Structure 1
Amino acid sequence: MSPTTPLLRQQYRARQAAVLASCSPNLATPCIRSTLRKLSNLADEFLLTLWRQAGLGKPCALLAVGGFGRRELFPHSDIDVLVLLPDSPTTSLDAARSAQIETFIRSCWDTGLEIGSSVRTVGECLEEATKDLTVQTALLESRCITGSRTLVADFRTRFRSIVDPQAFFIAKTLEMQQRHGKYEDTPYALEPHCKESPGGLRDLHVILWVAKAAGFAEDWGSLARAGLATPFEIRQIRRNEALLQRIRTLLHVATRRREDRLLFDLQNSVAQSFGYLAPEGDPRAAARPGERLMRQYYLAAKAVTQLREIVLLNIEERLRSRSPAAPRRIDEHFFDNAGMLDIASDDFYRRDPHAILQTFFVFQSEVGIQGLSARTLRALYHVQDLIDHRFRNDPVNQATFLRILQHPSGLTHTLRLMNDTSVLGRFLPPFLRIVGQMQHDLFHVYTVDQHTMMVLRNVRRFFLPEHVHEYPFCSQLAADWDKPWLLYVAALFHDIAKGRGGDHSVLGAKEVRRFCKRYAIAAEDAQLIEFLVREHLTMSRIAQKCDHTDPSVIAQFARYVRTERQLTALYLFTVADIRGTSPKVWNSWKSKLLADLYHSTSQMLGGHVPDIHADIRERQHDAIVELALHAQPYLSHKPLWDTLDAGYFMRHDAVEIAWHARKLSRYVESPTPIVRARPSPVVDGLQVLVYTRDQADLFARICGYFERSGLSILDARIHTTLKGYALDTFQVVSPDPTERYRELVNMVESELAHTIAIAGPLPEPGKGRVSRRVRSFPLPPRVRLRPDETGQRWVLNLSASDRVGLLYAVARVLARHGIDLQLAKVITLGERVEDTFLIRGSALQNQNTQLAIETELLAALG
């Protein structure tokens, strides 16, 4: 290390900090470009010093490439440089020159310049550029810092000759599509990557890259002069680019590293740097600072997405004009221009505002149209002011919107396009209020408008033959449904009132009632739509929190839905809604719960009067048939069945009853615990059977074992035989999707039996770690304890943020008070739990004890 290196490192850090401080305490948006340029110039200065100290000079050259090449250096971004060497054999890289370059690179790192370096001849650069699109892109933005200008000029001339603008455009757009796919093709992720996500800075870089490769423009100003974007569009691009650059810079400063993700635990700190505060007592500032920041980010990302599409289409059309194809006329106003819907003139919408919605109907109904042309997108972008109160109440526009909703194909793509172009929110003002609105309920992973689009997509798939394999039962029901558009309207409105305060289902029902009245939708259809919006959470709640093996629960739900038509619609809608929250929330267990509730309710609505004794006889008969298939001796099940009451047979199906009989018929009075496990027939996990003498802390011991083993309980069915034995069945899953459950069977059977047999006090629960999202958006724990309708048992509802050991902590509280557990519904919604227990015990009859139990449970949940 050179003696001057520590001093240079100290100087570089001090001057970098001074640059950041000179802009403003909050790195205000207007000066962010100047700040990034100053950081780039500072790096240039120190690189030049180190270059000279290393003794480097002609015939070599030092080039800045990538983002550093366009003088855009963020506080902790890599400083990408290229040491360019000539091809001449007389100046090949000898040992002395190699040592100088190594000294230069080492000195850069020692000084604190985190460089990404490459050392290549001109020929090697060209060879790598032809093989690697990333290298070609980086070299496209090269900038000479020092060295031989002749060498650099030769490199640039030869480099331009190998760049094929058309091929480069295609490659970069395909690369962009792949990148967008990594981020779920939406700018509305709750933790977006401000550089790589759709609508991020990288999308703007793509525009300049393809424009440079084609020789159309070098920067935003020349892009406008080339006629590829209007001055207004360039102003919008610059404004949103500066906002994204400011956010990225603040992320680097806040974390002191290269962090480009707007993580939950960073959103509020960045928002405060923007000046977003929530003073106490100010109702206008009720939203969290982070939510206000994210709303601004989403609007910027959406604008970038629209503008990127417009400009890239213009560039594509300019490239294609070298070999143009004649557009196909659709009618007097619309054309098919190479698969893109084009309009006849730029002022078309000003002359005929009705054509705004008509554009989307043509896009939806015309075969072969894949998108909107640059002219169409630009025209829509510039006439948003026309979509006002008069436009919304125009009968022609309302009729067109209904035609879009009722058209048999293309609805999902059309409404997404309407949302992406901001037409949907302007035409439906209540929808505009949920665009970019975050949800901090720990299980939605999309903003409200994107969740709405996901639900709409899911409902639509029920009616498409190519998706039958995804939703077999839903597709079967949808095949007999006469008006799919009623479900689409409900999907559009079901969460439209979120964020207003109050019950969003009730408020949404009022909104959709007004919509149906304004659009003259028939009374019967309007009633069904309103029912779905108001009750879209009801079926999920009953399926996941109530004991729907209880005929009274089914009877009450049947009275609620009233008709088979409403039941079917609510079932379809519930499946679509749950699947639209997060990929982690839906599973086959929830599918089974909903399907079982649907079938039981459908039978009751069809006139089937529940006969408990007949149902039990049928299940026993089917179980005996199942036993015979497994070659079990005749009446081998009788010793076990003689100890079981009607409640057991009502809560288990015939296959489970037969499995229990096969495993337990020889152990009815076993003095030691019996544990049997098998791959679950209903979820990707294990079904575990526990049979042992009942004890007060049994459920807690079992929960403790499963949680120590990394297995999550989805469902627990607790039963006590007439001889005082616990016969409990659990559905458990592993958080590791690659887990081989067959290999776990022997382990669970031996270890859990041993755990139950060990006497002694229950171990203390561990301090379970919580996720970043839970830390950033903690959910206040809630406990509700109430008697059931018979007054014989109690229903305990718990809601809290999920963490390891949570269920065990709850079970310890119940065991401490001698509470018997009869049924457990353990529902995990992303990173939030909604658990329901059916319990009984003498302690529950005392109000003081009830209060103590609730207090201890709140402490355990917290």
Structure 2
Amino acid sequence: MDIAVKHRRTIIDRKLLVEAIEAFAEGEGNVDVLRPKLVQALKTALAEGRAECRRRLEADNASGRETAAGLCYLVDQVIRVLHDFTVTHVYPLQNPTAGERLDLIALGGYGRGELAPGSDVDLLFLLPYKETPWHEQVIEYMLYLLWDLGLKVGHATRSVDDCIRLAKQDNTIATALLEMRWLWGDQALYAELKDRFGRDVVNGHGAAFAEAKLKERDERHRRLGDSRYTVEPNLKEGKGGLRDLHTLWWIAKFVHRVDDAAQLVDKGVLSADEYRRFVKAENFLWDVRCHLHFLTGRPEERLTFDVQPELARRLGYTDHAGTKGVERFMKHYFLFAKDVGVLTRIFCANLEEEARRKPSRLKLLALSRRAKSVEGFLVEGGRIGVTAENQFELAPIDMIRLFEVAQRHELDVHPHALHLITRNLKRIDAALRNDPAANALFLTILTSRKDPETALRRLNEAGVFGRFVPDFGRVVAQMQYDMYHVYTVDEHTIRAIGVLAEIERGILGEDLPLATDIIHKILSRRVLFCAVMIHDIAKGRGGDHSVIGAEVAQRLCPRLGLSAAETETVAWLVRHHLAMSNTAFKRDLSDPKTVHDFADLVQSPERLRLLAVLTVADIRAVGPGIWNGWKGQLLRGLYYETEPLLSGGHASAPKERLNRAKADIGARLKDWKPAEVEAFLRRHAESYLVSTDPACAERHARLMREADREEAPLTLSTRTDRFRCVTEVTLYTADHPGLFARVTGAISVCGASIVDAKIFTTNDGMALDVFTLQDADGGPFDRPERLAKLSTTIEQVLMGRVRPREVLEGRAVPSKRTMNFKVAPRVLIDNNASTRLTVIEVNGRDRAGLLFELTRAIFALNLTIRSAHIATYGERAVDVFYVSDLFGHKIRHGGKLKAIERRLIEVLAPPPPAEAADAAAKPPAKRSAATR
């Protein structure tokens, strides 16, 4: 475990430092005058030593562990010099007694000889008995001076008896002492403590210590999300991070009494290959950690989006073969984190085996009686294992069958079995992949009604999933460098399958009513589960993952035992798995052509059901907070509009739809005179009457009549729909050019997020605009004070008292996290998506005020916005506008279309490098999805 520090004197030369301090100490007898000189000398030595360690890391390619060892050596020498100066010049003892001895002991990571650039220095001031006045003076002087040097010192002052007593009571103290290292002082005290610690604390307590540390680890994992595959992981405390390796090392040191991890090979705990994986994982994590601390200038442990690209560059990862360097770097991180999980299981298996060897014959007999054989496997204590050490060598198919049996009998998998699988993964070869029995077992696991998510995650953690399905193995630990996807591709896929199983069991009926209803009408469960497994399998290959994924489906599904018809359906679903969400979230569902085009793509009710459930599971598994009621409502709306077209029904003729819409609205206004109803209907265009829900039209009618009676210049009405997680704001006022742009500006100023907008103009020149809003967290924008501010702001903007552009300019600074993402500006203009209007889709990096700038630009181009659909995917803004010219027609002139594209690209373009650099220096503004 120890790392030798090379060329130590270039980091710090203690002899020269002592000579310099002694030189000015001899000429000055006043210790108060000496103190500032001592601080300056030690501070300079620390700064120069840290600079040398950083130079070696960044310029000479020194490893992270070499850097940590160098920093540890540097601090060692400073503390030793300080100690000698204190007891020689400040508080000297002429005739010290036996009770006035003092040892300096390094604890924790510092005791292990590893000190990250931002780590604390943990010190134990070890006394023979109780603390004396001299001890108190020396320790206080040293601590204050160490703090003056800028070191973060965690310290304790204890006698040997205190240490032993407290270590027996507290595992944290026992763990710290486990890695104690003599630093300076009376070495006899250290020897006494180490001897007593081994005899009184460690001896006979290995099992209890191991259990406590593993429980502590599990609690830490739960606190941090219990997944090693989140795209902004904590490399120290997170699952698969350094702390997990430390936990294994602490248990090994406590149970097996080793001082070096290499000794675990001799004891049979780890194989030589497993030890190499341990060292490689530790070295990689330390490389990343040291670069991260120096990069951020603080003890940062999270690999956030803003630091990942620079870390990748420093560690030598470059873009190639369609993959970003930062994605390759993070993939390696996740693979190492996965290795840590494998090593943990192996280690636990050995601990259990060790425990089995120690009990008496009577206890072993009882254990053997509790064990039973199930389908060729041994089951003991609710966990399934092997009957022989060479079981997987003789029957490689058992590496898959084990998980199927465990899933069917609802058993956990024994760590020892996982250990043996790890050592036999190479036996999962082409012959096994093409074995019909093996494929049938895998398909059974995938489509089981008994928790397929857990079974597949175990398969993946063991390495079996990626070996048996090599295309899936390519996306194991594959991250997507964006702010939308929370998990790696493999973790997202397994979670999506879990969502599918929960939908089928009815667990999510309240949140996902449509999917819960139609999943039981699907004719082929195998098609659905296979499509979910394959839908993202081609990510990271440089092309369209939907197209490449469909090709993978054509190859893989027959191998798994699906028929030609099933294979074709799976391939279609993978090819078009984004079609339903793109249509629902980006297109105007009140436009009949939108639904007809979607129905032409889907072609059958079965495909519609399959695609709807796949889409819901996919979005739900992206990450916390991604799914909401608004998205659910849009998908349900598209489904219910499309289903009649695919089930033998037909779209009503325009005249029939118009007459039915008028009748439905009139039925809701029974308390109105027939002339009043007719007058309301005459005020609106046919498109409004046909596309507006009768209940909404009724609300609009009553709002408009009340506003007209009161002659109110501006009327605002708000309504919160908690199921859809939105607040609907209806604005009624006299129409005028640029109204929509000004209102979007006012909404942006108030921090609301516009997810949809409908713009109507009555035949008598009044604007009836309906905005669907959410807050920055995806919930309804419904707090009374916010709605009051919104109403006031809209009024002030329309009166010219508030200029949104000026207010939003101060917020247009992207956060450091957002600035690291490159989103190529793109404008798509489609004249075929709607029968009446031109559809403009814009894609760009989200920033404060973007939606306002886009709508202002569209107004300046003499276009009228008829409806808008607004979405944000992490750092990416995707906004769709249905527009017409001033006469209500589509824009068809080629020159005009190019001018629109050119102007909107200018709005979407990121700020120049100089502005971006200035922005990075400013504190990041709180981001709101509202300000697109």
Work out whether 1:653 is the aligned partner of 2:693: yes
Work out whether 1:854 is the aligned partner of 2:901: yes
User: Which deviates further from its counterpart, 801-810 or 393-402?
Assistant: 393-402
Work out whether 1:794 is the aligned partner of 2:794: no
Residues 766-805 of structure 1, C-alpha deviations (whole Å, 9 max, x = no match): 2513243432221001011232466642111011111111
- Cα separation, 2, equivalents of 1:639 and 1:84: 93
Tell me what 2:919 maps to.
Answer: none
Change over 3 Å in CA distance of 1:77–1:760 after alignment to 2: closer
User: Which deviates further from its counterpart, 563-572 or 761-770?
Assistant: 761-770
Counterpart pick for 1:808 among 852, 861, 864: 852
Counterpart pick for 2:76 among 31, 44, 63: 44
Tell me what 1:178 maps to.
Answer: 219
Cα offset for 1:259? 2.5
- Structure 1 residue identity aligned to 2:906: A
Work out whether 1:744 is the aligned partner of 2:777: no
- Cα separation, 1, equivalents of 2:405 and 2:331: 32
Residues 691-743 of structure 1, C-alpha deviations (whole Å, 9 max, x = no match): 11111211111111111111110110111111111101111112157975234
Cα offset for 1:76? 2.3
Cα offset for 1:125? 5.0
Tell me what 1:416 maps to.
Answer: 457
User: Which deviates further from its counterpart, 568-577 or 526-535?
Assistant: 526-535
Residues 426-485 of structure 1, C-alpha deviations (whole Å, 9 max, x = no match): 111111222222213542222222222222222222112444344333222223335323
Tell me what 1:430 maps to.
Answer: 471
Tell me what 2:112 maps to.
Answer: 70
Tell me what 2:41 maps to.
Answer: 7
- Cα separation, 1, equivalents of 2:765 and 2:284: 68
User: Which deviates further from its counterpart, 566-575 or 317-326?
Assistant: 317-326
Cα offset for 1:274? 2.9
Counterpart pick for 1:544 among 571, 581, 585: 585
Work out whether 1:339 is the aligned partner of 2:382: yes
Change over 3 Å in CA distance of 1:82–1:684 after alignment to 2: farther
Tell me what 1:819 maps to.
Answer: 863
User: Which deviates further from its counterpart, 737-746 or 188-197?
Assistant: 737-746
* Contact 1:224–1:234 (CA under 8 A) maintained in structure 2: yes
Superposed CA RMSD: 2.9
Work out whether 1:387 is the aligned partner of 2:421: no
Point out where structure 1 has 5 or more consecutive residues left out of the alignment: 279-283
Point out where structure 2 has 5 or more consecutive residues left out of the alignment: 1-34, 910-932
Q: How does 1:401-800 map to 2 (within 5 A)?
A: 401-611=442-652, 612=654, 615=657, 639-668=679-708, 670=711, 672-735=713-776, 741-758=783-800, 763-764=805-806, 766=809, 768-788=812-832, 792-800=836-844
- Cα separation, 1, equivalents of 2:777 and 2:434: 53
Change over 3 Å in CA distance of 1:472–1:762 after alignment to 2: closer
- Structure 1 residue identity aligned to 2:404: F
Work out whether 1:241 is the aligned partner of 2:285: no
Change over 3 Å in CA distance of 1:583–1:613 after alignment to 2: farther
Cα offset for 1:855? 1.5
* Contact 1:452–1:491 (CA under 8 A) maintained in structure 2: yes
Residues 162-209 of structure 1, C-alpha deviations (whole Å, 9 max, x = no match): 575444333322332232234433333222222222221111111122
Cα offset for 1:299? 1.9
Q: How does 1:262-281 map to 2 (within 5 A)?
A: 262-278=303-319
* Contact 1:783–1:858 (CA under 8 A) maintained in structure 2: yes
- Cα separation, 2, equivalents of 1:236 and 1:728: 62
Cα offset for 1:10? 0.9
Change over 3 Å in CA distance of 1:338–1:692 after alignment to 2: same
- Structure 1 residue identity aligned to 2:409: E
* Contact 1:415–1:424 (CA under 8 A) maintained in structure 2: yes
Output the TM-score relative to the length of structure 2.
0.85
- Cα separation, 1, equivalents of 2:526 and 2:85: 73
- Structure 1 residue identity aligned to 2:758: R
- Cα separation, 2, equivalents of 1:306 and 1:799: 41
- Cα separation, 1, equivalents of 2:322 and 2:60: 22
Cα offset for 1:749? 2.7
Residues 66-113 of structure 1, C-alpha deviations (whole Å, 9 max, x = no match): 111111112221111122345x4xx4454x533322211111122343
Work out whether 1:113 is the aligned partner of 2:113: no
Cα offset for 1:354? 2.0
Secondary structure of the residue aligned to 1:76 is coil
- Cα separation, 2, equivalents of 1:309 and 1:423: 15
Cα offset for 1:131? 6.4
Secondary structure of the residue aligned to 2:306 is helix
Tell me what 1:831 maps to.
Answer: 875
* Contact 1:679–1:742 (CA under 8 A) maintained in structure 2: no
- Cα separation, 1, equivalents of 2:232 and 2:169: 34
Cα offset for 1:148? 4.4
- Cα separation, 1, equivalents of 2:438 and 2:491: 24
User: Which deviates further from its counterpart, 483-492 or 809-818?
Assistant: 483-492
- Structure 1 residue identity aligned to 2:50: Q
Cα offset for 1:22? 4.8
- Cα separation, 1, equivalents of 2:546 and 2:861: 38
Tell me what 1:281 maps to.
Answer: none
Instruction: Give the aligned length.
Output: 847
Output the TM-score relative to the length of structure 1.
0.91
Work out whether 1:140 is the aligned partner of 2:165: no
Secondary structure of the residue aligned to 2:155 is strand
- Cα separation, 1, equivalents of 2:896 and 2:697: 37
- Cα separation, 1, equivalents of 2:171 and 2:895: 72
- Structure 2 residue identity aligned to 1:296: H
Change over 3 Å in CA distance of 1:634–1:104 after alignment to 2: farther
User: Which deviates further from its counterpart, 72-81 or 331-340?
Assistant: 331-340
- Structure 2 residue identity aligned to 1:546: R
- Structure 2 residue identity aligned to 1:600: E
Cα offset for 1:383? 1.4
Cα offset for 1:123? 6.1
- Structure 2 residue identity aligned to 1:769: V
- Cα separation, 2, equivalents of 1:662 and 1:726: 15
Q: How does 1:66-105 map to 2 (within 5 A)?
A: 66-86=108-128, 88=129, 91-94=130-133, 96-105=134-143
Secondary structure of the residue aligned to 1:81 is strand
